Amino acid sequence: MSLETPSRVASQVRSMHTMRAPLNAAFMATMLLGGAAYSLWDWTGTCAFGAISAALAFVAVALTMIAMR
């Protein structure tokens, strides 16, 4: 059972539209840094970069969830 209402979906679509440029910039920066890690340290650097990025994203989400309480 979905809890999404049409107005909430429309609001999310508007929000995603306004966030398109920053999300694209973050994606491209991540791709650039991942490629740099690969060229410098091969797959070990790429995997380390991915693990660090995932850990930072987890911390950011956790802090956001704590702040929303």
Domain segments of the chain as ranges: 6-68
Amino acid 36 reads: A
Q: And the tokens for 46?
A: 């790429």
Assess whether pLDDT exceeds 90 at residue 18.
Answer: no
Amino acid 28 reads: M
- Report the pLDDT value the prediction gives residue 1, as an integer from 0 to 100: 46
Average pLDDT of the segment spanning 22-41: 91
Rounded-to-integer distance, Cα 69 and Cα 65, Å: 7
